[in-house]
Amino acid sequence: MGKPFQVLNHAIPRLESMEKATGKIAYTADLDAHGAAAAIVLRSPHSCARVLQIDCSEAEKVPGFLGCLLPCEVPDILYNPSGNPPAELLLADARILTENPRYIGDRIVCVAAETDEACRMAAQKVKIRYEVHAPLLTLKDAMAEGARPIQPHLSASNIVKRRNVSQGSPDQKGEVLLSGHFSTPSMQHVPIEPTCCICDFSDGKNLTVYSNSQTVFQERRIVSELLGLKENDVRFIKPAVGGGFGARQQLHSQPVIALMSKKLGRPVRLVYTREEEFTATAVRLGTEIDIEVGANRDGVLQYLSAYYLANIGPYTIHGPTIVAGASRKIQYRIPNYFFDGYSILTNDICGGAFRGYGNTQLTFGREIMLDRMAQKLGMDPLEFRLKNHVKVGEHFPCVDAPVTSCAIEECARRAMEIRTRIDVEEHLTFDEEVRQAWGVAFACHGSGPSSREGLSSAIVMLNDDGTARILVGSADIGQGSETMLSQIAAETLGLSLSDVRIKAADTLLTPYDTGTFASSQTFVCGNAVALACRDARAKLLKQLMETVPEAVVTEEDDGFLISSGDKREHLSVQQAVRRVAFHQHGGVIIGCGSYKAQASPSPFVVCMAKVEYRPKLNTVRLLHIIEAADVGTPINRLSVEGQLEGGIAQGVGYALFERMERNPRAQKTVSTDLLHYRVPQAADMPKTHVVIADSYEPTGPHGAKSVGEVATVPVAPAIVNAVNRAAGTEIGTLPLCDRFVILPHSAERGPLS
């Protein structure tokens, strides 16, 4: 692993921390778009309907009304709003505005006015008459014999894509075979910043879009195609973003707001309501999964099959890619592996990218099945998993690339140390009144798209005082990637962090990046930044040599050594840049790097959960969560710990009570605000313990792998495994509030205790 890092592997507050803490940072809705009109998108209140009539006459009378944009006024083009680069699994089925709403988030009409209040009043006056159809909200409805196809141009049934991967023989299942059914709900990301965009297409020729986007270059590409523009004529800018989690990995309403801007000849601004945030963005796919696991009596896994049905909503967007993503994230040595996954169209809320990207759902079932198998075999669940875990040089099932780093045993050991300490301090009670138990789950993910389509580029420009400016196309969505990439640049260049400035995610000013998704920023963009910085250092060395043709110049970690006869002169990087910049044979140092991901090394996490179950009251209280993670070199320890803690929080919500609830009478969801949909708050969290294992990924920038998504993947199965042990149940359905009274961690037992 070499010498200690100067800037990396330290706990460093984010570059923007103070601005965020003091409220100075500008999110999209904070931007002062001169003369921007306010817009509202009217959406269908019905899960399945046909628009019969749109009457804007009363809206036109509202003072300040500027205009309506109707379905007939926008290009009738099918497109896929996914922020992924073009791929076979991305199917075109969405429209900018539609007269055939297929779910309650579908856009029907856009209204614009001088002010937000006038816009609200005008929007209330627009009358839309519908012919309402019975929606297909569940997988069962959508897959029923004769069910109406929701996207008939894609498929005669609502099974729109199948993903099938396998290795080995279906007949070799081992001596012990267990099967189970698992059901996971759709879940919302709940970013605190609402979805928002400001579009200026006033002249109808050049479009500028400010929006909370994870994938600005993909969005530029799609919008250019939709509006018939060259990519050069479209500029996407991502201001500060208050949370992504996958929600902003797709276009939302930018196309319709761009067209409204063109119609009005002025900029237009749209800010989603919280209800739209819940119902008109995207959700983690709800799934129904059947899993079979087989092992020999000695505890060696032989077989795993998964039959995976995903409710992707009425538009494909990410659906088939998510199902595909789920298929290859099995971190155990299983010679006979079969995955059969289906993307099912429904009239439920649109599915989309969500931290974990299909892996979360399959890991949930798999890790519960492994627990059941360990119990069946009389083995310790941790030892059982370790016994079957892949090692460096081995392969995941159906994956050709070998594992290049893996510190799972250290993760397990360090998690156990914490667990032991907790039990020594607090005991592990198990009697008639109180039953406490631990559950464990492992998880892996990738460091970039598993299809290896991740592509990042970076430019580093050295100023004449030796400070550096980095340009990258990747988007910081609140996870701290700008700080992390600046650290990589500083470490690689031999500068201090304060000497580095970064500009990111502006399609006019920064180089191409596939986007912020698939936990790719550290590995893919980090490698691009490291390459660019090495390129800059190589160019600096070359130009420095040209300034002293008679001398020998040697590169050192912290600068350069110029040797000429007996004379030795050490130059720091800054001094070298300055000399080159102003020397008559010198020049400007600009490094560039482009990294096409050739690998997607997996981070690993061991998660343990301690719960307390009271049989008499049927209550469950979550006491502790431990996460030990192998992320390779942690570029910023503070950010990595933050990602782990945030991932735990999202996993706790998923396990306990987060769910988009369908209501049979309303034929749509009732989860429309932060009271009807519950996200755990700080006081609801159990005690969390996170540790970072010592690890080094040889293909990563300075040994780093990802952390973003893997952090949340094992949490729900660890909790459910603990509950199953405490309560003696075999639960495979989320959320747990359906089965137990969930007690907040900090809830008091007695009235004044």
Partner 1 sequence: MNHFPSSLSQATEYRDAIFAGGCTDLMPLFKNQVRDHRNLVFLTQIPELREIRREGPGVSIGASAILADVAESELILNHFPALAQAANAVASPQIRNIATMGGNIMQDRRCIYFNQSAGWRSSLPPCFKTGGDVCHQIPNSPVCRALYYSDVATALLVYDAQAEYWEKGALHCAPLRELIHRHCEANGTACRNRLNILVTRFFMDSPPKGERSGFYKYAMRTSIDFPLINFALRCGRSRSAKLVSGAAAPEPLILEHTAALLDHGAADDDILAACQAELKTLAMPIREACISPARKRDLYLQVFSLLSLREDCPKSTEL
Q: Which residues bind partner 1 (CB under 8 A)?
A: 42-43, 45-46, 124, 132, 273, 275, 616-618, 656-657, 659, 661, 663, 665-668, 670-678, 680-681, 683-684, 737-742, 744-753
Between 99 and 219, CB nearer to partner 1: 99
| Nearest C-alpha neighbor of 308 from the set 284, 339, 346 | 339
Distance, C-alpha 481 to centroid of its chain: 13
3-state secondary structure at position 480: coil
Between 517 and 740, CB nearer to partner 1: 740
Q: Which amino acid is at 744?
A: P
Between 89 and 742, CB nearer to partner 1: 742
DSSP β-bridge partners for residue 622: 611
Between 339 and 740, CB nearer to partner 1: 740
In the DSSP assignment, the letter for residue 465 is T
Between 156 and 752, CB nearer to partner 1: 752
Q: Which amino acid is at 542?
A: K
Give Cα separations from 91 to 151, 446, 722, 738 (angstroms): 11, 24, 40, 35
Alpha helices in 464-512 (DSSP H): 481-493
Q: Which amino acid is at 353?
A: A
Closest approach of partner 1 to the CB of residue 40, in Å: 10
Between 156 and 682, CB nearer to partner 1: 682
Closest approach of partner 1 to the CB of residue 311, in Å: 20
3-state secondary structure at position 622: strand
Between 469 and 739, CB nearer to partner 1: 739
Closest approach of partner 1 to the CB of residue 124, in Å: 7
Secondary structure (H, E, C), 654-693? HHHCCCCCEECCCCEECCCCCCCCCCCCHHHCCEEEEEEC
Closest approach of partner 1 to the CB of residue 36, in Å: 23
183: part of which helix (H) or strand (E)?
strand 176-184
Residue 66 in contact with residue 278, Cβ under 8 Å?
no
Between 132 and 541, CB nearer to partner 1: 132
First to last CA, the chain: 52
Instruction: Report angle CA 337, 338, 340 to the nearest 5 degrees.
Output: 155
| Nearest C-alpha neighbor of 344 from the set 587, 150, 526 | 150
Closest approach of partner 1 to the CB of residue 678, in Å: 6
Distance CA 576, CA 412 (A): 47
427 Cβ contact partners less than 8 Å away, ≥ 6 residues apart: none
Distance CA 121, CA 56 (A): 12
Closest approach of partner 1 to the CB of residue 502, in Å: 35
Closest approach of partner 1 to the CB of residue 63, in Å: 18
> Which residue bears the tokens 């050991």?
413
Between 104 and 571, CB nearer to partner 1: 104
What are the b/e assignments for 421-447, b being 16+ CB within 10 Å? ebeeeeeeeeeeeebbbbbbbbbbbbb
Between 392 and 617, CB nearer to partner 1: 617
Secondary structure (H, E, C), 101-112? CCCCCCEEEEEE
Closest approach of partner 1 to the CB of residue 672, in Å: 6
37: part of which helix (H) or strand (E)?
strand 37-43
Closest approach of partner 1 to the CB of residue 362, in Å: 25
Closest approach of partner 1 to the CB of residue 216, in Å: 30
Between 110 and 742, CB nearer to partner 1: 742
Instruction: Report angle CA 706, 707, 713 to the nearest 5 degrees.
Output: 125
Closest approach of partner 1 to the CB of residue 168, in Å: 41
Distance CA 419, CA 607 (A): 11
Between 239 and 653, CB nearer to partner 1: 653
Between 185 and 191, CB nearer to partner 1: 185
Closest approach of partner 1 to the CB of residue 621, in Å: 12
Distance CA 472, CA 594 (A): 10
Q: Is 386 exposed, middle or buried (0-12, 13-18, 19+ CB in 10 A)?
A: middle
Closest approach of partner 1 to the CB of residue 726, in Å: 16
